[in-house]
Amino acid sequence: MKSLREDCYNSFFSHIYVEQAVKNHPRTKQALARFQDARVIEIGHYKDVFCRRGQDFLQQHRSQKLILAGKPGTLLYPGAAVCPSFGNDHFYYTSCVMNCIYNCEYCYLKGMYPSANIVWFVNLEDFFSETDRMLKQHPMYLCISYDTDLLAMEAVTGYVREWMRFADSREQLKLEIRTKCADRSFFEQTEPVCGVVFAFTMSPQRVIEAYEHGTPSLAQRIDCAAEAVRRGFSVRLCFDPMIYVPDWEAEYDRMLEQIFRKLPAGRLSDVSVGTFRVPQDYLKNMRRQEPDSAVVQFPYQNCGGVYQYPADLAGRMEGYLTKRLAEEIPEDKLFLWKQEG
């Protein structure tokens, strides 16, 4: 867990907001027992805190608070057009935790959510029931770590292990857990489950240092992914989003060399490539929140409501990386994101 105790800011989770309806839920009690020094504030509905007017995402990220809530209504959503489905027909995602402890400047969450505080929905069993209901209709490819980094929150929520236990007895269910976390101990202490893929986002160290604040280094991510592979977990590498920096060819070359020195390419589940893209409404919010961020203020082009790099630059970046990856990875395991339509 990162330390946010810097300057004049309160510590991470110094305050925990608890919905009245879940105050006696076992997971609420578990959270409050873990953060005994936190001040507990009772609330009616999580949106009373999460959706307040005029919140400053960046400032809040310096002292994130935890909101414990129950999520009613729709719990599974069809996969978004800007996300790759990896050839799966029934692509869904779910958010049992909203927001992330990492602070990546380019992250769409800054444009999507009005608050940087973390919402933990404690009614996980309802998510399971909804998944079971859907599985009766068709098989599912379900991404459970899009709007958060669930593995980075594992010490707090334990949700990755719970989802793995759930998936273990459901052959029709494929789970993707996307992460920048480098917690090797998780893979040392957990048994792999068929159908659960851990998708590690890989970025050049220069991009990590410039834009992925609070995340593990490239070397740490590689070590963790290598440990997962060694222990038989299904591992995907995501070079997505690719971020433009001056001399990007050399930066991505260095990254690939570092990766394939330690990771056996043949044992990877698959690999995805895609340059940065974000829905136009999100970018508008991100630019207001982060006026000093070069990656957010880049003059992206609006293509069908999605902001992305100019077509020639995006083509060169994706082409370069896929060509280099094709030297190590069979073509059928290489997925390049393409906009539909």
Partner 1 sequence: MIYIFTAACYEASAWIAHFQLKKDVGQTRFQTFYSENAKLCLTVTGAGMISAAAAVSSICTANGAGKGDFLIHAGICAAVGAGRGAAGELFYCHKITELTTGRQFYPDVLYRHGFCEAELVTGAKPWDTSETARAPVFLEEEKPFFLFDTEAAAVYQAGSYFFAPHQMAFFKIVSDCRETAAVTPEQGKRLTGLHMEDLADYVKMLDKAGRKEGQGEPVPEVLLKQLCRDLYCSAAMEASLRQHIRYCILAGIDYEGRILKMYRENGLPCRNKREGKRCFEELKRRLL
Q: Which residues bind partner 1 (CB under 8 A)?
A: 7-10, 14-15, 17, 39, 41, 43-44, 48-49, 52-56, 59-60, 62-63, 65, 246, 291-294, 297-299, 310, 313
Quote the Cα angle for 212-216-222, to 5°: 115
Minimum distance, C-beta of residue 134 to partner 1, in the bound complex (Å): 35
Minimum distance, C-beta of residue 48 to partner 1, in the bound complex (Å): 6
Assess contact for 231 and 198: CB atoms under 8 A: no
Smaller CB distance to partner 1: residue 269 or 285?
Answer: 285
Question: Which residue type occupies 38?
Answer: A
Minimum distance, C-beta of residue 63 to partner 1, in the bound complex (Å): 5
Smaller CB distance to partner 1: residue 294 or 326?
Answer: 294
Smaller CB distance to partner 1: residue 228 or 242?
Answer: 242
Q: What is the rounded distance in angstroms from the CA atom of residue 58 to the CA atom of residue 270?
A: 34
Smaller CB distance to partner 1: residue 40 or 83?
Answer: 40
Minimum distance, C-beta of residue 318 to partner 1, in the bound complex (Å): 17
Instruction: Give kind and range of the element (H or E) at residue 29.
Output: helix 26-34
Instruction: Give kind and range of the element (H or E) at residue 111.
Output: helix 109-112
CA 161 to mean position of chain CA atoms: 16
Smaller CB distance to partner 1: residue 200 or 252?
Answer: 252
Q: What is the rounded distance in angstroms from the CA atom of residue 68 to the CA atom of residue 28?
A: 7
Quote the Cα angle for 238-240-241, to 5°: 155
Minimum distance, C-beta of residue 66 to partner 1, in the bound complex (Å): 13
Smaller CB distance to partner 1: residue 54 or 341?
Answer: 54
Cα–Cα distances in Å, from 196 out to 10, 121, 171, 180?
37, 21, 10, 16
Minimum distance, C-beta of residue 10 to partner 1, in the bound complex (Å): 5
Minimum distance, C-beta of residue 32 to partner 1, in the bound complex (Å): 16
Smaller CB distance to partner 1: residue 185 or 302?
Answer: 302
Q: What is the rounded distance in angstroms from the CA atom of residue 169 to the CA atom of residue 266?
A: 27
| Pick from 153, 58, 17: nearest CA to 97 | 153
CB-based burial label for 185 (10 Å; 0-12, 13-18, 19+): exposed
Tokens found for residue 149:
């980094």
Cis peptide leading into 241, omega within 30 of 0? yes
Quote the Cα angle for 307-312-315, to 5°: 85
DSSP 263: S
Smaller CB distance to partner 1: residue 35 or 298?
Answer: 298
Minimum distance, C-beta of residue 305 to partner 1, in the bound complex (Å): 16
Tokens 């873990």 correspond to what residue? 34
| Pick from 201, 264, 178: nearest CA to 229 | 264
Minimum distance, C-beta of residue 322 to partner 1, in the bound complex (Å): 22
Smaller CB distance to partner 1: residue 151 or 295?
Answer: 295
